[in-house]
Amino acid sequence: IIEMAEDGRAPAACNSRVTDMFAAGEFLHICAPMVRYSKLAFRTLVRRHGVHVAYTPMIISDCFVRSQLARDVEFTTSALDRPLVVQFAANNAADFALAAEYVSPFADGIDLNCGCPQRWAMSEGYGSQLLKNPELIADMVASARRRASVPVAIKIRINNDIRITTELAMRAEHVGAAWITVHGRTPQQRCQPVNYEAIRTVKDAVSVPVVANGDINSLADAARVREQTGVNGVMSARGLLSNPAMFDPTEPDVASTVREWVDIALGLGTPFPCFHHHLIYMLEGTLSRSDRREFNSLSSPAAVVDFLASQGVL
């Protein structure tokens, strides 16, 4: 059990591979949590190409703690799937803390999603809805730290009043959040420009590592955002979906990355919709409109393999 210090702060966070890398001054390339997408097979692929840390998809904590079936379906990993951060959506401290305890032996960090802007999530009190209740976020982080054997972090979106965001970040740090990921948009924004100045303000307000999220689509973007904000790492979602090798300085071509994906995904028994959808993202910029229409209509792994072979990819 982790006891609070006399000044109300949590003691120093548990160490893990992630916190060790931050402490060593490494600038981390991170695969974002992506519902349906950042599963084991995809994490395996991006780790080969410059991703230092990968997140699981967001997992709903109340289902996870109440159902063995949910745990078996929602969380799969392997000995090589490290460093790994498991992200949970939660609306109460008890569920989040218990879920964190369950996965701690298999992870290098636990993350609380305080940024998902989807209406269904907010209606359940998850994601960005938590930003309206910083006291609850602090309680959830503190509770998870008492149960988990690995560090606990949060992922947030910004407020139009950046003072509200910095106060939330400082409160999370105070109760022991090991790092903070900041998506530089508000919950109401989707495609508007990312506010990197706001991310810089959060970085300057706390002493724990800060990770920038939003419109990181290349190594050049990562370098630019690092220079602009002073963050300790960057997190990418859509950029990695389109190009899982975007962090690889050798810049492998699309065909070679597709071949790797086919080998990994079929080898791990990835369900067809996931296998296919990743390829749709990866091939979007290389197939003609008619070929995309044909490819998107395929309905079996064999049909996908035949199509790729006909295109000279396999």
| Position 281 confidence tier, pLDDT thresholds 50, 70, 90 | very high
pLDDT of the residue at 242: 97
pLDDT of the residue at 136: 98
pLDDT of the residue at 232: 98
168-210 pLDDT, tens digit per residue, is 999 999 999 999 999 999 999 989 999 999 999 999 999 999 9
Give the span between the Cα atoms of 48 and 32, in whole angstroms.
Answer: 16
| Degrees to nearest 5, angle at CA 279 with 156 and 257 | 90
Q: Which of 14, 31, 114, 116 is catalytic?
A: 116
Q: What is the mean pLDDT of residues 288-297?
A: 96
pLDDT of the residue at 2: 27
- The mean pLDDT value of the chain amounts to 94
Give 218's Cβ-side CA count (13 Å radius). 5
Biggest CA pair distance of the chain:
68
Structure tokens, 245: 């090798």
Give the span between the Cα atoms of 217 and 69, in whole angstroms.
Answer: 35
Q: Is the pLDDT of residue 258 over 50?
A: yes
| Position 14 confidence tier, pLDDT thresholds 50, 70, 90 | low
Give the span between the Cα atoms of 7 and 11, in whole angstroms.
Answer: 10
Give the span between the Cα atoms of 31 and 56, in whole angstroms.
Answer: 9
Contact 111, 59 (CB under 8 A): no
Q: What is the mean pLDDT of residues 105-130?
A: 96
**Catalytic residue check, 116:** yes
Contact 128, 114 (CB under 8 A): yes
Least confident of 10-14, 211-215, 225-229, 282-286: 10-14
| Position 16 confidence tier, pLDDT thresholds 50, 70, 90 | confident
- Look at 6 and 184; give whichever has higher pLDDT: 184
| Degrees to nearest 5, angle at CA 103 with 102 and 105 | 100
User: What are residue 6's phi and psi, to 5 degrees?
Assistant: -60, -30
Q: Which of 20, 53, 26, 17 is nearest to 38 (CA)?
A: 53
Pairing of strands 53-55, 210-213: unpaired
Catalogue the long-range contacts made by 221-227 (C-beta closer than 8 Å, 24 or more residues apart). 222/27, 222/29, 222/247, 225/196, 225/199, 226/27
Q: Is the pLDDT of residue 289 over 50?
A: yes
pLDDT of the residue at 9: 45
